[in-house]
A and B are shown apart, each in its own frame.
Chain A
Amino acid sequence: MSASIHKLIIMFLVSLLAHAPAYAGSRQYSGESIYSAEQVAKFSKRVEKYAGSKGARAFIIARLGTPQSELPDQVQFTHVGLAIYSRIKTADGNQIYGYAINNLYQNPNALDQSALFMDYPIDFFAGAQELKAGIIIPKPILQKKLIAAIESGVNQSLHNSNYSMVSNPYSQNYQNCTEHILDIIFSSIYDTESMVQIKANENAYFRAQAIELAPIERLFAPLVRKDIKMTDHSDSIETATFTTISQFLRSYGLADGYTVITEHGKQVYRR
């Protein structure tokens, strides 16, 4: 190994160690939220009321689990789910109306594995590093198909529990939360549960977000994080994001754009 490579590796490992404490403190799943429960409740209800005011029976919802200042401009959100307008039975026997969110979550005890779990907006936004929501409201015909997919358990049949944070949406090897939602969307559009067909359609019509990594980072990332895989990527590294899903839906007339709601209630509509 040349001296320069060795030096690079050392510098890389030092940078990892330097960042580790900050992440350890703020992002453990069981850690204290930086927002109070009251703040999260108020924000999540604001998001629900917005979607309700638009008549959205199904919409794609995203949160920011990492401070925006630590992300590149192209990455606006770090977790994506599918919200369905529902009649909710509560523990005290009442029936109320709001949104239930279908998620693919990492298993905290095995980070390279995932499970599906339905929760509610206050759960979805708990622990967010910034109270900011992304909302894509598909056209009604797609909403209808997405709801039917959830009702018939298509999300279960499309679930791949092998998790990678940067999973390649064009392969079946791994799946992250955003790719899972993308697969449900394509399954709904093409009325198929065949992953071979879904991946062929995604390869033809969906444009993923490119990630550029230096070779040494590409080499070391899977070694230090078991939930980052590179074996499903070829020369380029590409993954699905909230924004690329929005671009796909808009390109084919299945949504007009997306809305971002911020902590203080500001609503920004983007195309």
Chain B
Amino acid sequence: MNKSLFAVSALVASLTMSGAAMAEGSIQHFGQSISHVGQSATHSAKATGDVLLGTTKLVSGVAAVPFKGIGAAADASNAVGDFLWDTATGGVEGDLKVSDEAVTAGPAPMFVINN
């Protein structure tokens, strides 16, 4: 194996003396701008249901389940592995509908609990 080298400076640069200040690892970056808008989305969803980010409507997601197929027949199917894979070949016929709304989950609990 031709072992590639991480530049030493990358790790050195990622080391900080403060535990609160961190370089990117697997941290969830819930930027304040999104957080504030997200809270607004949650609140407004109960009132008006509309928060716009430019032309994109932001909504708060409360649950998500893997969707296994396309159309009414697939809607009735809920068994693990019961997919319509013949439509998932990467071709045009395999396109999956993606709604125009942007969904937010809000920050993870461990980000909220001490704030």
Q: Which residues of A contact B (CB under 8 A)?
A: 12, 15-17, 19-20, 23-25, 27-33, 35-38, 40-42, 44-45, 48-49, 51-57, 64-66, 70-75, 78-79, 84-92, 94, 96-100, 103-109, 111, 114-115, 117-123, 126-129, 137, 140, 143-144, 147-148, 150-152, 163, 165-166, 176-177, 207, 209-214, 217, 220-221, 224-228, 236
Contact B25 A115 (CB under 8 A): no
B107 → A minimal CB distance (Å): 8
- CB within 8 Å for A29 and B28 given contacts A16-B17, A19-B13, A126-B34: yes
A-side contacts of B63, CB under 8 Å = 88-89
- CB within 8 Å for A165 and B6 given contacts A41-B53, A211-B11: no
Contact A210 B5 (CB under 8 A): yes
> What interface size band does chain B fall in?
35 or more
Contact B54 A127 (CB under 8 A): no
Closest to A224 in B: B15
A-side contacts of B103, CB under 8 Å = 88, 90, 96, 98, 120-122
| One of A72, A97, A120 near B6 (C-beta < 8 A) | A72
Q: Which residues of B contact A (CB under 8 A)?
A: 1, 3-8, 10-35, 37-38, 41-42, 45-46, 49, 53-54, 56, 58-68, 80-81, 83, 85, 87-91, 94-111, 113-115
In the assembled complex, the Cα of A144 lies from the Cα of B46 at a distance in Å of 36
Closest to B25 in A: A165
Contact A52 B95 (CB under 8 A): yes
Contact A88 B64 (CB under 8 A): yes
Contact B66 A127 (CB under 8 A): no
In the assembled complex, the Cα of A108 lies from the Cα of B111 at a distance in Å of 7
B-side contacts of A40, CB under 8 Å = 31, 33-34
Contact A122 B21 (CB under 8 A): no
B-side contacts of A19, CB under 8 Å = 12-13, 15-16
In the assembled complex, the Cα of A176 lies from the Cα of B23 at a distance in Å of 14
In the assembled complex, the Cα of A51 lies from the Cα of B113 at a distance in Å of 34
| One of B25, B29, B54 near A41 (C-beta < 8 A) | B54
A22 → B minimal CB distance (Å): 8
| One of A51, A105, A226 near B27 (C-beta < 8 A) | A105
In the assembled complex, the Cα of A128 lies from the Cα of B64 at a distance in Å of 24
Contact A103 B26 (CB under 8 A): yes
| One of A64, A114, A119, A151 near B80 (C-beta < 8 A) | A151
Contact A176 B32 (CB under 8 A): no
